Structure 1
Amino acid sequence: MKHVVKALAVSGLAVCAAQGAQARDLTIAGWGGNYQDAQRESYYTPFAESKGMAFTETTYLGGLAEVKAMADTGNVTWDLVTVEGADLQLGCDEGLFEVISWDDIPTQDELNPNAINECGAGNVVIGNGYAYNSETFPDAPQDWADFFDTEKFPGKRAVRNLPKWNLEYALLADGVAVDDVYDVLSTSEGVDRAFAKLDMIKDDVQFWDAGSQPVEWLAAGNVVLSTAYNGRIITAKNEGQPLEFVWKNHIYSIDSWAIPTGAEHKDVAMEFIAFVSEAAPQAKFSELMPYGPTNMKTAEMLAEDIVKDLPTGKNTEDALFFSDAFWIDHSDALTERWNNWATQ
């Protein structure tokens, strides 16, 4: 997911925490926007100040093209990058990311097990679910069955225009248990079942592409329900918009820190990963940006009014962890079928 809450037109923005004499400053690539603003305040600047060094940051647009180009040319200009799960796994398989030295991460045992990967350290938990305008539906929808119930909750629904997440949502709405979703979706019968469920709302579906659209459409009344990232909805809610996020059976994913192979400051980058894996810096990030921590001790440091809006604790008790491995294996075939379905 591209978590760009506000466009941040910076590429290679230098932020000096101290004067350094290195050939190149520690260079960190992030998602931009409010997300990267929160990372800077909670991670980049405190770490740089503790090391007495300077750092440079740049905006990463997702995918592996930039990392591959660095590897192919031998000109590796990044030391750290925030990546989604699928890109982390593919990049690790292709040798594009360094192997994490987990023995050097003191808080390893405090992390969500899904945050521990061969080439990456999970750092941010993102909730993917759906939202509604409380002024439209004073009697709140509760689960995915409600999202697919056009009689009880009439009106347009918005979903992101791709099969990921939507096929899982459809099976959850059709009564498949959380623990069985990917087993069912791995069969042709399960895929047919998911699309059959989606057929039930197809006449009421409106597709979104940008993460800002669900907020805009719900606020304007263009749709009555929309799949969305929790951070977008909670941010809008905190700004005064009457939007609510439905936590039951949401799908959570994890963004990770990775070190491009051949990074000039590999050792310092590893120290950075150890720092951002601690509970206190993650608590600061979640105070600034409503995404969840991977350090399981972080929630104890946060006020309840913050925790209640994060994909952590009780909000994840009945959640589904997004399977990057499943989508790496099945994305092409399911995307082709989705595109045919969406355009018919």
Structure 2
Amino acid sequence: MKKLLILTTALVATGYAASAQELNIVSWGGSYTVSQVEAYHKPFTEMTGVKINSIDADNPATPLKAQVEAGNVSIDLADIELSDAIRLCDEGLLEPIDPAILPPAPDGTPATEDFVPGAIQDCAVANIVWGTVVAYDKTKFPGNEPSTLADFFDTTKYPGKRGLLKTAKRTMEMALVADGVAPDQVYEVLGTDEGVARAFKKLDSIKKDIVWWEAGAQPPQLLADGEVVMTTGYNGRFFAAEVGEGKPFGTIWDGEYMDYDLWAIPKGAPHLEDAKKFLAFSTDTQRLADQAKYIAYGPARKSSNALIGLYKDGKTEMAPYMPTNPENMKNPIWTDPTFWADHDAELAEKFNAWLAS
């Protein structure tokens, strides 16, 4: 708490309270953005007087890249995936982040030791660890609920439409694991022509039953509307629908695809120093723990875990719904951002050709 008070004092001392400054922050929308608004935006505005304009995008990396390349940047901060953070940094489109601006843990542990491995990048800092999982409608499979990634591809035992993300990333890895590839060998396999063909062959087995989605809010809606009986999607979105809205959803954690989301500042951000202060504030121990009150994503700092308690309803324990819960991580696929930074364009082209075939 003492460290947080020091941070608060330092922020106010910069003159924020009298500032009419605004920040444009781009994120993914839906229940995820709500969690950020409640845990980060509102307390930051209350503390500093800085207004935050929250902007939704299907993938915030897309408008960020477009704005920087056009030389017309209005975004101050964006929430992006790890592979995009590495790629955009390599392309010179992001501002470098000095880890020294990040506050230590409450016990004094430096931020560089408190964040989980890989969470602090040259141009970005993670806020959450999240999972792409499979969710299903429990009412469709009474007494015979699916439990593995292979079940998702078994339309004989579990008939019905499937929702899948309309990109190569995540979709191809999950197809390979469903086909028997060990998660720690996925990228070795996917890096070969034979592995790519194997992934497409597995996807071919359900192609006629696929309903494609592109935005994070779509999978829970597809499931709720009965357009699909199972769908991949982000674990926090399914949590919001199941616990927050009472939907009869179940989650398959087998083969969950683990990734980070990170704050990044575009090169040429109009309010660079303000953006850095928000980034530091929103990734402190307490703020990351506070976000977990609103959505089931794991904090990127180790010191935040002990502070995770109940959902905003005051009764639901959040731990069982976290993608980082040991019970949920028995067969995870950990994203390889270097692989995707190197192969994204190539596999996207092959994936689009497969879609059109």
Bin for the TM-score computed over the shorter chain: 0.7 to 0.9
Choose which of 336, 343, 352 in structure 2 pairs with 1:323: 336
Aligned to 2:115: 111
- Higher mean C-alpha deviation, range 308-317 or range 266-275: 266-275
Q: What letter is aligned with 1:127?
A: G
- Higher mean C-alpha deviation, range 145-154 or range 187-196: 145-154
Choose which of 65, 72, 81 in structure 2 pairs with 1:84: 81
> For 1:137-184, what per-residue CA distance to the aligned partner results, in whole angstroms no more than 9, with x for missing partners?
232211111112223222222212222212101110121111111111
Check whether the contact 1:215–1:232 (CA below 8 A) recurs between aligned residues: yes
Instruction: Tell me how far 1:291 sits from its aligned partner.
Output: 2.2
Q: What letter is aligned with 1:45?
A: K
Is 1:182 matched up with 2:187? yes
- Rounded Cα–Cα distance in structure 2 between residues aligned with 1:116 and 1:278: 13
Q: What letter is aligned with 1:80?
A: L
Choose which of 112, 121, 125 in structure 2 pairs with 1:121: 125
Aligned to 1:224: 229
Instruction: Tell me how far 1:262 sits from its aligned partner.
Output: 3.9
Check whether the contact 1:71–1:261 (CA below 8 A) recurs between aligned residues: no
Check whether the contact 1:282–1:295 (CA below 8 A) recurs between aligned residues: yes
- Rounded Cα–Cα distance in structure 2 between residues aligned with 1:39 and 1:218: 25
Instruction: Tell me how far 1:205 sits from its aligned partner.
Output: 2.5
Give the unaligned 5+ runs of structure 1.
1-16
Is 1:243 matched up with 2:238? no
Aligned residues: 325
Instruction: Tell me how far 1:99 sits from its aligned partner.
Output: 1.3
Is 1:313 matched up with 2:325? yes
Change beyond 3 A, Cα 1:334–1:232: same
Change beyond 3 A, Cα 1:204–1:99: same
Is 1:41 matched up with 2:38? yes
Instruction: Tell me how far 1:119 sits from its aligned partner.
Output: 0.3
Choose which of 155, 158, 165 in structure 2 pairs with 1:153: 158
Aligned to 1:273: 279
- Rounded Cα–Cα distance in structure 2 between residues aligned with 1:216 and 1:228: 11
Change beyond 3 A, Cα 1:203–1:53: closer
> For 1:37-69, what per-residue CA distance to the aligned partner results, in whole angstroms no more than 9, with x for missing partners?
32122112323444x342332415323444553
- Rounded Cα–Cα distance in structure 2 between residues aligned with 1:272 and 1:85: 19
- Rounded Cα–Cα distance in structure 1 between residues aligned with 2:353 and 2:271: 46
> For 1:80-103, what per-residue CA distance to the aligned partner results, in whole angstroms no more than 9, with x for missing partners?
222222332222112222211113
Where 1:114 maps in the other structure, the secondary structure is coil
- Higher mean C-alpha deviation, range 126-135 or range 322-331: 322-331
Query: 1:9-158 to 2 correspondence within 5 Å?
Result: 19-21=17-19, 24-50=21-47, 52-61=48-57, 62-66=60-64, 68-70=66-68, 73=71, 76-105=73-102, 106=104, 107-138=111-142, 139-158=144-163
Q: What letter is aligned with 2:94?
A: F
- Rounded Cα–Cα distance in structure 1 between residues aligned with 2:269 and 2:162: 45
- Rounded Cα–Cα distance in structure 2 between residues aligned with 1:25 and 1:220: 38
Check whether the contact 2:32–2:237 (CA below 8 A) recurs between aligned residues: no
- Rounded Cα–Cα distance in structure 1 between residues aligned with 2:193 and 2:153: 22
Where 2:122 maps in the other structure, the secondary structure is coil
TM-score by structure 1 length?
Answer: 0.84
Q: What letter is aligned with 1:331?
A: D
Is 1:298 matched up with 2:304? yes
- Rounded Cα–Cα distance in structure 2 between residues aligned with 1:32 and 1:79: 17
Change beyond 3 A, Cα 1:191–1:32: closer
Change beyond 3 A, Cα 1:301–1:170: same
Change beyond 3 A, Cα 1:148–1:123: same
Check whether the contact 1:84–1:256 (CA below 8 A) recurs between aligned residues: yes
Is 1:332 matched up with 2:345? yes
> For 1:9-32, what per-residue CA distance to the aligned partner results, in whole angstroms no more than 9, with x for missing partners?
xxxxxxxx975246x434433334
Give the unaligned 5+ runs of structure 2.
1-14, 105-110, 311-316
Check whether the contact 2:44–2:50 (CA below 8 A) recurs between aligned residues: no
TM-score by structure 2 length?
Answer: 0.82
Aligned to 2:168: 163
Change beyond 3 A, Cα 1:144–1:285: same
- Rounded Cα–Cα distance in structure 2 between residues aligned with 1:279 and 1:99: 22
Check whether the contact 1:30–1:82 (CA below 8 A) recurs between aligned residues: yes
Check whether the contact 1:18–1:49 (CA below 8 A) recurs between aligned residues: no
